[in-house]
Chains A and B, each alone.
Chain A
Amino acid sequence: MADRDDTAAAGDLGPVTTLATPIRLDFEFTPGVAQSRFLRGLERGRFIGQRCPKCGMVYVPSRGSCPTDGVPTTEDVELANVGTVTTYCVVNVPFAGQSIEIPYICAQVLLDGANISFMGLIQEIPADQIRMGMRVEAVWVDPDRLTPSLASVRYFRPNGEPDADYESFKEYL
């Protein structure tokens, strides 16, 4: 066989025991008009949600309609840069591709003025000091690095306010 001569060296490598089989999906994402408004808000360092005209709930990011009432949400609402940790988990497990040093905190943050929480990274606090009700503020990337992406929010950190009363966020757990 043609390649026989150059295979002697390859034979010293030992048997093949594993095979890399990466699974990859390349896709195009169109977030829609409502989420695009949220993303454009991030590009300006602002959290933009939308209010339901029927029940008054404020969703962030908004999907463009109220899941309870099924009506379009047309009124944009700018939310505060501060919020409350409703729940959290501390990540202690290393995994391939991890970009943050463990242990770190993933929390659900309920922004002031919103009626739904979203997930954020909590930093500038030891992982064992996180607690439900903690008041936090968003820390953004430098203005010239803002993009229409959640990567514009570096993380949330404690803002020093007293903890929120459990009654104030128990509906959002």
Chain B
Amino acid sequence: MPESEALHASHRLEYPYARSVGPVIGAFLTGLRDGRLLGVRGSGGSVIVPPTEYDPDTGDDTGEVVEVGPGGVVESWAWVPDPLPKHPSDRPFAWALIRLDGADTALLHAVDSGGPDRLATGDRVTVRFRPAAERIGSMADIEAFVPEGGAA
């Protein structure tokens, strides 16, 4: 390479943040680690998943923790044909809003349906957790949701 030519290099900038999750999201993450999906009851009686510390409609404290799922309904979705390194799957998947059974709000996560022609709004899906030994209390403890009655 002639000396006048410009150099080129790959760089990585990284900050190792850790955040305190608080009692409500902490309960949700503890549930994920334990293989359970948890929501919280809002002041109007609706079940919010993922849970919040305050009811988004009234601002009141939310109440009891409620187990939801493991199945749910796809409310909307977008297909990702070429996953990026940070995505939850290294093969094509859908980002989907999933309203879990017993919940009144939708959770955003990946659906592994095997193709965009095998997923439709209104489809029923169910959670697929990572193996217990790999779960740490993170959204990534959910590997993906899969079509109910058999993955693609």
> A and B, one complex?
yes
Q: Interface on A for B, CB 8 Å cutoff?
A: 1-4, 6-7, 9-11, 13, 15-33, 35-37, 39-40, 96-97, 148
Docked-complex contact B12 and A28, CB < 8 angstroms: no
C-alpha spacing A28/B11, complex, angstroms = 6
Docked-complex contact B18 and A21, CB < 8 angstroms: yes
Given contacts A28-B9, A29-B9, A36-B7, contact A18 B35 (CB under 8 A): no
- Stretch among B25-33, B75-83, B89-97 lining the A interface: B25-33
- Least CB distance, A71 to chain B, in whole angstroms: 19
Some 14 contacts from A to B, beta carbons below 8 A apart, are A2-B70, A3-B132, A11-B34, A15-B27, A16-B33, A16-B136, A18-B19, A19-B18, A23-B14, A23-B17, A24-B15, A26-B12, A26-B85, A35-B7
- Nearest to B86 among chain A residues (CB) is A24
Docked-complex contact B35 and A3, CB < 8 angstroms: yes
Interfacial chain B residues near A24, Cβ < 8 Å:
12-15
Interfacial chain A residues near B85, Cβ < 8 Å:
26
Given contacts A18-B18, A26-B12, contact A10 B132 (CB under 8 A): yes
Docked-complex contact A33 and B35, CB < 8 angstroms: no
- Least CB distance, B115 to chain A, in whole angstroms: 24
- Nearest to B127 among chain A residues (CB) is A1
Interfacial chain A residues near B131, Cβ < 8 Å:
6
Docked-complex contact A32 and B6, CB < 8 angstroms: yes
C-alpha spacing A20/B8, complex, angstroms = 31
Given pairs A15-B26, A16-B33, A37-B3, 17 additional interface contacts (CB within 8 A): A1-B36, A9-B132, A10-B135, A13-B33, A16-B21, A16-B29, A19-B18, A24-B14, A25-B12, A25-B13, A27-B12, A28-B10, A29-B11, A31-B6, A33-B5, A36-B5, A96-B16
Within 8 Å by CB of B21, from A6, A17, A29, A30, lies A17
Main secondary structure of the interface of A (DSSP, over half): mixed
Interfacial chain A residues near B136, Cβ < 8 Å:
16
Docked-complex contact A10 and B35, CB < 8 angstroms: yes
C-alpha spacing A31/B9, complex, angstroms = 9
Docked-complex contact B129 and A17, CB < 8 angstroms: no
Docked-complex contact A19 and B137, CB < 8 angstroms: yes
Q: Does B138 contact A (CB under 8 A)?
A: yes
Within 8 Å by CB of A23, from B4, B15, B27, lies B15
**Highest count of chain B CB atoms <10 Å: which of A13, A16, A33:** A16
Docked-complex contact B132 and A16, CB < 8 angstroms: no
Interfacial chain B residues near A27, Cβ < 8 Å:
10-13
- Least CB distance, B15 to chain A, in whole angstroms: 5
Given contacts A16-B137, A30-B8, A39-B7, contact A7 B132 (CB under 8 A): yes
Docked-complex contact A20 and B18, CB < 8 angstroms: yes
Q: Does B20 contact A (CB under 8 A)?
A: yes
